[in-house]
Chains A and B, each alone.
Chain A
């Protein structure tokens, strides 16, 4: 008997996806609605801390969050990783960075991408601003990416 490990592997095409839709609910839904209007909103806890992207609850004490505040579409890079050669699935197929960005006046960070810059222009603490996608889908992708603010 030949072992399976000696045989050729059968191959079939396969699309990696969630084959279902999700309902974003009142908090994340509001955040996405506003994104499609090119407005960034966050949720505020009773201590006055603001979460962008909007959080449904405070990650520290689970306080239910429902108060929305608008924030400017500028922030500061908390960390980043430069991807010189983008790989399959990456949305930007030229060199770009993933980054954690703390929007001005907020107390958490947002994961997104930074493009239109060179690696050596990027550093922790750099100021960046939103570049909107022309086509809105009411998803996190309504932000196309961030770019560096020239001082």
Chain B
């Protein structure tokens, strides 16, 4: 099987409201940046794959518009996932492994500001038993947080600690949206939106886009930059039958930890796609991460572009490995209510 490396990554400054800027205008700058980083043009790209959510734009096949951000003439090999762009990366990895391409361009974008995101997400839930009751994304997460607190898995203090660490780390990311760390009093006295979660516990509504280029060993060798290899990548999903899942644990995340053989890796950090504070101590426990640094980039609590934030975990891990002495990073992406679907990626710096 071919080894695959990350060659470039770029993220737009995350904003709370991109106003009239459309999706194409959000995507263009990051696509140009990854081309600049590699010296590539669209002609050097074997496969292009994007991740986005048509519900955000409110129209079927809205993602096709995004293609206007790249050069598609002569015709290109292209695909789209109605998911976070981390899964567009996954499809691209498969495409390269199958021998259909040597390089791939991946981008994810989301403009959540025009709608009411927690309710837009409701439309992605089971249309018979769930969405007619209008459970918003925050309330579904709150059901899991409540259960975990009740079972003694975590406390509000753990959630506050996860929040302050994330937001303090956001200074490492010039593109972060939230950088003001709340006081413990403000946090503990905040009204709950859906108990036990207040607005502090939820990632901010964000607009933005990110892009990445990956390629084979031959492609990375030409660039003369540190080689950051995708050493392990797996994803898995739990049942769509929400009430049949055990929300006090995550079969998906535990299983993935075994599949990418985490025990055998000496990790330097983890970047987790955690959209709620409770998910950080929860996943730390599930994967037995001990005192490992989590979300040195600030993570989604400091800026959470729907459909790009999972790819950002992987991209920020790539940047950390490239620009530091770190050797091994773990990146996580997620989708669906209460961490229904997850992806774990082990990134490794290869020294020649």
Contact = CB atoms under 8 A, between A and B. Distances in A.
Given A79-B247, A84-B191, A139-B132, A4 B146 contact: no
Interface in A27-79: 28, 51, 53, 55, 59-60, 78-79
B190 to A, nearest CB: 12
B19 A9 contact: yes
Interface residues of A, number: 47
A98 B118 CA distance: 14
B147 to A, nearest CB: 4
Contact of A108 (B22, B136, B197, B243): B243
Given A82-B192, A109-B243, A111-B135, A22 B147 contact: no
B48 interface: no
Of A28, A59, A88, which is in contact with the most chain B CB atoms at under 10 Å from its CB?
A59
B1 interface: no
A91 B132 CA distance: 9
Given A59-B244, A89-B136, A111-B242, A79 B146 contact: yes
Most chain-B Cβ atoms within 10 A of its Cβ — which of A5, A24, A139? A5
B18 interface: yes
A6 interface: yes
Contacts of A107: 244
A8 B20 contact: yes
A53 B243 contact: yes
B147 A108 contact: no
A129 to B, nearest CB: 17
B174 interface: no
A4 B25 contact: yes
A124 B147 contact: yes
Contact of B243 (A80, A91, A111): A111
Contacts of B123: 16, 18
A142 B145 CA distance: 28
26 contacts: A4-B19, A5-B20, A22-B127, A24-B128, A28-B128, A53-B243, A60-B239, A78-B147, A81-B197, A83-B194, A84-B191, A85-B191, A89-B122, A90-B134, A98-B133, A98-B139, A98-B142, A98-B143, A100-B143, A100-B247, A107-B244, A111-B129, A119-B195, A124-B147, A124-B150, A140-B129
Given A83-B193, A90-B134, 15 more contacts: A3-B21, A4-B25, A5-B19, A5-B21, A9-B114, A22-B128, A79-B150, A79-B247, A81-B197, A82-B195, A87-B119, A111-B133, A111-B135, A124-B150, A141-B133
Interface of A: 3-10, 14, 16, 18, 22, 24, 28, 51, 53, 55, 59-60, 78-85, 87-91, 98-100, 107-113, 119, 124, 139-141
